[in-house]
Amino acid sequence: MSDAKAARQHILDSARPLVGSRGFGAVGLTEVLKTAGIPKGSFYHYFASKDAFGEALLQDYFDTYLQQMQRIFDGNEAESRKLLAYWQHWADSQACNTDAGKCLVVKLGAEVADLSDAMRQALDRGTARIIQCLADALARGQQHGAQPPEQLAAQLYALWLGASVMAKITRTRLPFDEALAFTRQALGTLDSF
């Protein structure tokens, strides 16, 4: 990796917990650069604009997230166990009180979708990739289900995004516990689960 690419990646890595904690609009470029230890005037050497930075931040987030998903789904266990491990990991990582690893879709979805079309499109592409990964796992575990895997994947992903928002509001794990119970029930209706 070139020095410029490494510095760009370092800026993104430094920004993720800041943005995950306070949102995109509340984090200034000066704070991001200070946290990354990058000279203030060099931001535009790495990103054309704050929107381009936000788009790159989301793309990097989704790339990392999908690599983590792939590690869960690459095992030799039954697809139902892999899917439940994925949802359990979601609950455990989102219920903790740290900003590291928090879901940027939950944090930024409503905030940036109306402000930046480039960031909205990055969110749309990234969530579509996640839903497709879930649908692929559902399809592998299903012999002949009544519900198309793509539809169930989209419904479960929306359920878990909603559970994440409710967990932030209530500051409890209860929304995740309820989402997990519903997910188990939904997966149990599939033939091979």
Residue 98 has a pLDDT of: 60
- Average pLDDT rounded to a whole number, residues 94-107: 77
What's the CA gap between 162 and 85, in Å, rounded?
Answer: 19
Judge contact between 85 and 152, C-beta under 8 A.
no
Fold held by 50-188: Tetracycline Repressor; domain 2 (1.10.357)
pLDDT digits (tens, 9 = 90+) for 104-142: 999 999 999 888 999 999 999 999 999 999 999 999 887
Give the CA distances from residue 20 to residues 41, 71, 110, 132, 178, in Å, rounded to whole numbers and listed in that order. 24, 23, 13, 24, 24
What does pLDDT average to over the chain? 91
Positive or negative, the Cα torsion across 146, 150, 152, 155? negative
What pLDDT does residue 101 have? 63
According to the model, what pLDDT value does residue 191 have?
47
pLDDT of 75 reads 84
Task: State the pLDDT at residue 160.
Answer: 97
For the chain, the structural domain boundaries read: 50-188
85 vs 97 pLDDT, higher one: 85
Q: If we measure between CA atoms, which residue out of 93, 92, 106, 87 comes closest to residue 182?
A: 87
**What average pLDDT does this structure show over 43-60?**
96
Query: Residue 82: pLDDT band by 50, 70, 90 thresholds?
Result: very high
**Averaged over 3-9, what is the pLDDT?**
93
How confident is the model over 26-52, as a mean pLDDT? Answer: 93
